[in-house]
Amino acid sequence: MVNGQQETIIYLDPNQSVEDRVKDLMNRMSLEEKVYQMNQFVGLDHMRKAEKDLTEEELHSNDAQGFYKGLFSEDVAEMTRRGEIGSFLHVVTDRESNLLQNLAAESRLKIPLLIGIDAIHGNALVSGTTVYPSPITLASTWSDSYLETIGIQTAREMRATGSQWTFTPNIDVLRDPRWGRVGETFGEDHFLVGNLGAAMIRGLQQNDFTGNQKVIACAKHMIAGGEPINGLNASPMDVSIRTLKEVHLKPYKKAIDEGVYSIMAAHNELNGVPCHMDSSLMTDLFRNKWGFQGFFVSDWMDIERIETLHHVANSLKEASYLAVSAGMDMHMHGPKFPEAVVALVEEGKLPIQRVNEACEKILTAKFKLGLFENRTVDIKSIPDKVFTPEHQQVALETARKGIVLLKNEGLLPLEKTISNKRILVTGPNANNQTILGDWHSPQPDEKVITIFEGLKTVGSKCGYDLEFFDSGENIRKIKDNTIAAAANKAKDVDYVVLVVGDNAMRYRWKDKTAGENMGRAALDLAGKQLDLVKAIEATGTPIIIVLVNHRPISEPWLHDHIPSIVEAWGPGSLGGQAVAEIIFGQVNPSGKLPLTIARDVGQLRMIYNHKPSAYFHKYAFEKIEPLYPFGFGLSFTNFEYSKPKLSSTMINSNEIVSVTVSVTNTGNYDGDEVVQMYIRDQVSSVTRPVKELKGYKRIFLKKGETKEVFFDIDKSTLAFYDINMKYCVEPGDFTIMVGSSSDDRDLKSTKLTVKNRMDVND
């Protein structure tokens, strides 16, 4: 009471500014309470399961399940009630979210929790939500607008079910397809990755993420996680400063320019420095030079691993100092970190200002998200907010646009028939939820259309009788007698749709062949899947291969022997319908590969934007060409390109040159085409890639229709780091290429000349 009147608590007043509320709350907090905001725990239900399933050794060697030695879920609940935890992850039910928030409301300062979740392609870890196609499938749409829309819809479903922070987008630039996390990336090109990542951030945060329909995005993993030296997650990255600047950092610059509010550090070390203690990136570059305003969060127990895995600290306390002093703001996840940070401050080793900075940013998020006023969710209203018809339509449309037709010798589309032709559908991924990709929990069957279910529904309307044969769902354990039985059935049908690939379902961890922490030393079809294909092919029945996979499959035998191959990736909740619509010709395929598919693991590293000397010599027994090039994807129709025209053949500083190309649909089907523009610097002070993607546009053309497509080129389009690592455009000639893929045979070119050197801000 002040003079007989009740004191106004500014931070609890929603009419006050966020800045004033943060300042008021910070003034009321003890050092310990500030540090608690920097610490995250896994959810209680998640702990209970891990307590039963994991040994202590397994706890420290995995990145998915967690519990705490000496602490049980009841203890963590009490810590929450005391205000000793600032954030949770792996909270996948609305019931638990409300429980935790209500516990936090009992604390001295009533600070709500920030609940994060891996909503990688929709809020798929929560049962009953919309599972959009996996990121690699979304990248195959080559459409920024879809990513923004999915971000908006995902945010709505997250807020409805109790989460406010998603650990996405993954803007790692893929450089090694052996890596298990290919499916959660946007591919191998930094320009495409950066654009799609920025679009997703726009959708999730919708500017400053203020309100109860938006969430915080998290750009990850800082940095170079897509270029592991052995293809395994978290292994060392040894990357030149030039490659770091020209490839891996560029998507982060776009993410920061887009206002991303959190960035997650990578498991790996970079050039000998664990990323969780890299001050040159977190503080010097991202904060001080690029103006990052949000907070950094560690990945799963990786501050601990500065000591236990990387061996550059003697204790968790020392590791915590190295991380927090370098710029780390939040610890994922577990006990002992707060105690270490408090001790470091009290001993004068860590400035209190570093703790204040971290706490202020986290509290700012909680105020902007409206959590102090609306920390819990209305469980009864959830069914009206998730898996809505609008969201389903976007999931279906992006699956249609992201599926890539890799080969077609006239077999597709299957035409309507009145003869009741028979189709056998089989393969390990034909009739289950592998189509949902990684980062999903089992979804209600009625909310998932499997490949077989989609084919059955669409195919029966086209006059076909469809039968499913279970040839074994576990890719690791396909049996010879099952292969023989499938081949025997194939003899008596008109077509076989054979659904093969890999399995990234994290709740079937021992069955997985892809996904987080599931790298491979090969890129072929795992297990006996190729034996299954060959046995059915030997019957003479025409086969349509559908690939459901989460990294590229390098299997030249398929290309050489199978008439039609459909790359479906992880097409999401309604993926089976999208695949069926393409096979039966109701949708014209238009997806384009966001990565290069090598012929063999021995060709790696194989990327489209390689240096000129990469293929100066040849292999003894293998071609030097990829199985399928970056940007490739067939259609049921044909597109013809004109030679590109420039508004000017020369460019100077501050000028913009327009590139125009005419595209004509010369085939018999309406369809989408993705028009791609590449450049090549003909002579430069250091070697440059043979081509670099600099523009893309998805267009729709009716049969016989022609459209003009425009791209703009300015100095930033042409810039690179010269021999002195200065970002500039050097004088000389550039080749401008436009076409349907990165393959030279699909491109038409013209020449642009730069008269004078132009410096560019980076």
- Please provide the average confidence, as pLDDT, over all residues in the chain: 94
Residue 2 banded pLDDT, cuts 50, 70, 90:
very low
| pLDDT tens figures, 257-309 | 999 999 999 999 999 999 999 999 999 999 999 999 999 999 999 999 999 99
H-only helix segments in 206-336: 241-243, 250-257, 279, 302-308, 316-326
Residue-level pLDDT at 54: 54
396-603 to CATH, choices 3.40.50.1700, 3.40.50.300, 3.40.50.10090, 3.40.190.10: 3.40.50.1700
| pLDDT tens figures, 647-660 | 999 998 889 999 99
| pLDDT tens figures, 690-726 | 999 999 999 999 999 999 999 999 999 999 999 999 9
| pLDDT tens figures, 295-348 | 999 999 999 999 999 999 999 999 999 999 999 999 998 889 999 999 999 999
Beta strands 747-754 and 720-721, pairing class: unpaired
Instruction: Tell me how far apart the alpha carbons of residues 81 and 644 are, in angstroms, rounded to a whole number.
Output: 65
Total-model pTM: 0.95
For residues 502 and 539, the answer to whether their CB atoms sit within 8 Å is: no
Distances (CA, A) of 45 to 41, 93, 98, 750: 12, 9, 13, 60
Task: Specify the DSSP class assigned to residue 512.
Answer: -
| pLDDT tens figures, 33-54 | 999 999 999 998 888 876 665 5
- Label each residue of 26-52 as H, E or C: HHHCCHHHHHHCCEEEECHHHHHHHHH
Residue-level pLDDT at 50: 64
Task: Specify the DSSP class assigned to residue 16.
Answer: S
- Determine the average pLDDT of the residues in 559-587: 98
Question: Whose CA is closest to 410, among 634, 567, 591, 590?
Answer: 634
Residue 420 banded pLDDT, cuts 50, 70, 90:
confident
Residue 487 φ/ψ, nearest 5 degrees? -65, -40
Q: What is the largest CA-CA distance in the chain?
A: 94
Domain locations along the chain: 396-603, 639-759
| CA dihedral of 17, 23, 24, 27, whole degrees rounded to 10 | 180
Question: Looking at the domain 639-759, which fold is it?
Answer: Immunoglobulin-like (2.60.40)
Question: Whose CA is closest to 302, among 276, 328, 280, 330?
Answer: 276
| pLDDT tens figures, 180-235 | 999 999 999 999 999 999 999 999 999 999 999 999 999 999 999 998 888 898 88
- Determine the average pLDDT of the residues in 532-559: 97
Higher pLDDT, 217 or 761: 217
Residue-level pLDDT at 56: 55
CB atoms within 10 A of CB 214: 24
| pLDDT tens figures, 477-526 | 999 999 999 999 999 999 999 999 999 998 888 889 998 988 899 999 99
What are 516's two structure tokens?
Answer: 């987080």
Instruction: Tell me how far apart the alpha carbons of residues 453 and 455 are, in angstroms, rounded to a whole number.
Output: 5
DSSP element (H, E) containing 332? strand 331-332
